[in-house]
Chains A and B, each alone.
Chain A
Amino acid sequence: MPLTNRSKTVTVRELTLSERLYLPAIFKGMLITISHLFKRKPTVKYPEVQREMAPVYRGQHVLKRDEAGAERCTACGLCAVACPAEAITMEAAERKKGEENLYREEKYASIYEINMLRCIFCGLCEEACPKEAIFLTDRIVPSSFTRGEEVFGKDKLVEPADARVDVTRRQTSEVLEFKQDKKHYHNRTFLDKAPRQHRAH
């Protein structure tokens, strides 16, 4: 008794003459292949044409500057601690007098390196950062011929003051609301000075 009604009886039989000539089947197959001549190709010709990235895409990192152009990173090391791939290393330095326009706080990262070959682009560094200094962007990490080139230093990570990297898509409405909290006043720009002076007392 058949278990399902889908079973088929298979018989071994000699091929008919037309089947042995293969010609009808070949003709059918050739029509199928030639029909693909007129199909649209799904290929995106990458360097010239780029697909639109999803808002949550996690690509190459950026070290942000604040509105005045000073680096936000204070070399606290939380990102390095958070990093599951141990891709981030940094060295801290003290801000000298007259460097206030370069670095936002008294401590800054003199060396900040991300090994792009180790990085798994999970975004935990971004989550750990208390200073809103590091973000993952929708940029694709460029390929290179040597491993050494894939260790990105500050020259590649810090955004140029005159060519800012847009990270608003990484800051969802929930994040922005969270930032309204008093605890995070220190991250505000120092253009609205009131809360910072308040903290100093």
Chain B
Amino acid sequence: MSPELIFSIILCVAVFAISLGIAAYATWGERKFAAVLQDRVGPNRAGPFGLLQPLADGIKMFMKEEMIPNQSNKWLFILGPCFFMLTSLMVSVVIPWGSDVTIDGITYALQITDINIGILYIFGVVSMGIYGIMIGGWASNNKYSLLGALRASSQMISYEIAMGLSIIALVMVTGTLSLREISAQQDLGLANIVYQPLGFLIFMVCAFAEANRAPFDLAECESELIGGYHTEYSSMKLGLYLFAEYINMFVSSALMATLYFGGYNFPFQHEIADALGLSANLLSIIQVLVFFGKITLFILFFMWVRWTLPRFRYDQLMSLGWKVLLPLALANIFITGLVMFFLGKLK
């Protein structure tokens, strides 16, 4: 095996483990953060500060009775959560976690694969994610599940358009679809948020909707639909659905950081590295840490929003998507094009 292959296998396993680990601790963080915002203490019994809580939750999920409804389509019922989990994990393949590391004279990129259509790939995978919810909701043979699945799919379709349009404006500015190049450009210039503030806002709102997070979590609206698409699920299949939501959150945080907030770069990184005499490898490691710091901040922001805003009504959700975000995204493209034209940046 070539060293490149070995390195990418190691990276694959590491990214997989880190995604799962972060998702696990996001559940803990969510409970803790919610508790703090509500003047409570939150989980504090399992281990110091309740840090073993995700482990306890995992054990609980595995020990629960596994129920598959009699009238359900058994295979699709099992496939649903697997598919949802799979698609949410697949996105992290194209995310650049840091710049290069050099070991024994060979330079490795801290990215599993750098495909030149990275953004398109992400869109493809994310829009496939809805199949997990749709299949699960439909196969449950339960009207609440079906309603949840329907809501989820129409919500995804509505918000994907605005999300795509907000990305088009970004692609116009950067001129590339590769996430690695977008990150590298932000090393040389300013972070994209400076050029695309409105685009970022639209992208973020859509990311909330795509990740099925509050205030857009109508697909699992407890007050109306019991659990929505996962009403009939129990044990670890339910766990997979809930867990995948956190992985989605992690991945969309990573995306937002990469696309708009400089990715793994941090201000004056080369000056600081020169001043302290850091080697390139060490700088890369610090960059990875900075990137994860940004992701953590975004995840906290997701939680902060969840514990502030009430859930949207369904018609409000639709009118926000179609009547506000879509026109805004179109206007954003237009303004971006206009500004680029007058600055002579059109290629």
Contact = CB atoms under 8 A, between A and B. Distances in A.
Given A21-B324, A26-B309, A29-B309, A34 B304 contact: yes
Interface string A119-144: 00000000000000000000000000
Interface in B7-44: 36-41, 44
Given A21-B324, A36-B36, A37-B36, A45 B41 contact: yes
Contacts of B273: none
A26 B324 contact: no
A146 interface: no
Nearest to B305: A30
Contacts, number: 36
Given A20-B324, A21-B324, A45-B44, A33 B307 contact: yes
Contact of A33 (B41, B308, B323): B308
Contacts of A45: 41, 44
Given A20-B324, A45-B41, A45-B44, A30 B308 contact: yes
A118 to B, nearest CB: 30
Nearest to A37: B36
A49 to B, nearest CB: 11
A29 B304 CA distance: 10
A37 B37 CA distance: 6
A97 interface: no
B39 A36 contact: yes
Given A30-B305, A33-B304, A33-B307, A41 B41 contact: yes
Q: How large is the interface on A (under 10, 10 to 19, 20 to 34, 35 or more residues)?
A: 10 to 19
A21 B324 CA distance: 7
A42 interface: yes
A101 interface: no
A43 interface: yes
A39 interface: yes
Nearest to A38: B36
B290 to A, nearest CB: 23
Contact of B41 (A22, A36, A43): A43
Interface string A90-121: 00000000000000000000000000000000
Contacts of B320: 20, 22
Interface string A9-24: 0000000000011100
30 contacts: A20-B320, A20-B323, A20-B324, A21-B324, A22-B320, A26-B305, A26-B308, A29-B308, A29-B309, A30-B305, A30-B308, A32-B308, A33-B37, A33-B304, A33-B307, A33-B308, A34-B37, A34-B304, A36-B37, A36-B38, A37-B36, A37-B37, A39-B39, A41-B36, A41-B39, A42-B39, A43-B40, A43-B41, A45-B41, A45-B44
Interface of B: 36-41, 44, 304-305, 307-309, 320, 323-324
Counting from the closest, the 7 A-B pairs by CB-CB distance are A33-B308, A43-B41, A29-B308, A33-B37, A30-B308, A36-B37, A41-B39
